[in-house]
Amino acid sequence: VYKRQAMGFLGEEPVVTPNLDRLAEEAIVFTEAASNYPVCSPYRAMLMTGQYPHRNGVIANCLSRTAPYGVELAKDARCWSDVLEANGYSLGYLGKWHLEAPYEPYIDCANNRGKVAWNEWTPPDRRHGFDHWYAYNTYDFHLRPLYWDTDAGRDGFHYVDQWGPAHEADRAIDFIRNRQGRFRDADKPFALVVSMNPPHTPYRMHPEKCQAPYADKTDKQLSERPNVPPAGTRWGDHYRNNIRHYYAMITGVDEQLGRIIDALDRAGLAENTIVVFTSDHGDCLGIHGRVTKNVPYEESMRIPLLIRFPGRLRPRREDLLIS
């Protein structure tokens, strides 16, 4: 009853995701996928290494408080990207990495100025085979994100006055088109990660147009899950104050996913490209009295996992327990 995956085609949430709905018709949809450490850095290290946190060393988020304990992705970890590089792939990474421990003097950016520093540059020898790099570690100002380009030094980051997912989709489309071979070796197969930060706090940091599908919905219509706390309670009001913006972020990410898939299709690469859509964790939004994630509840641990490989993988719903 209480499953929670905010994708329209599942019919569990009143969220608008036309591109995910279309992708679901062409993909294996793993309806029981879980993040067994549902917070940013540990999940990402598991995804990259195939190892649990006690093996890969990323036992918590990478930030200044955990840095003294060596909590970051090890330089000598063998990631799937290292395997692809060794097998002749051209690799690109766009967006949030969050596998680097911040060190002093901290990068001068907004989320490094409080008691805890979060963001850091990733040196080229710690990028695990990704030769095209346009990324940051973690930075939650979605309407003015910052990035390090491939050749930028530690102080060479730049800001962009564009919503993060839209900007990253622009860059992904450039990578796919690869005009004049500017982004990758056209003679090699490629792998590209597009790691969008939203839906992530602060939920209101999204383009206004993303709210359009929900403009005529009441708070009651958006809060009809049976385990949403009642209105007038701390957590019930937290849910109602944020769910509209959380859904708006998802709809915005869905639009950018659609642009990337369309670019793949137009480039004639659809038949020979595996598309994977997934996430590092879910979000409680006040359900169970929990503000976000990193708790052992469905809303926190359940994640989307869709894999499209036309002609090779038969589209279907798959209830395999997968983490």
- The per-residue pLDDT for range 37-91, each reduced to its tens digit, is 999 999 999 999 999 999 999 999 999 999 999 999 999 999 999 999 999 999 9
Tell whether the model's pLDDT for residue 224 goes beyond 90: no
Q: Using CA atoms, how far apart are residues 51 and 54, in angstroms rounded to an integer? A: 8
| Residues near 78 by beta carbon (within 8 Å), at least 6 away in sequence | 49
Question: Strand pairing of 146-149 and 132-136?
Answer: antiparallel
Tell me the C-alpha to C-alpha distance, in Å, between residue 297 and each of 90, 206, 254, 283, 288. Answer: 38, 27, 25, 9, 8
Measured from the Cβ of residue 113, the count of other Cβ atoms closer than 10 Å reads 10
Q: Using CA atoms, how far apart are residues 132 and 264, in angstroms rounded to an integer? A: 18
The side-by-side arrangement of strands in the sheet containing 28-30 is 275-278, 305-308, 28-30, 316-318
| Whether residue 105 has a cis bond before it, omega within 30° of 0 | yes
Mean pLDDT of all residues in the chain? Answer: 96
Q: Mean of the pLDDT values across residues 19-23?
A: 98
Tell whether the model's pLDDT for residue 1 goes beyond 90: no
Position 193: which residue type? Answer: V
- The per-residue pLDDT for range 231-261, each reduced to its tens digit, is 999 999 999 999 999 999 999 999 999 999 9
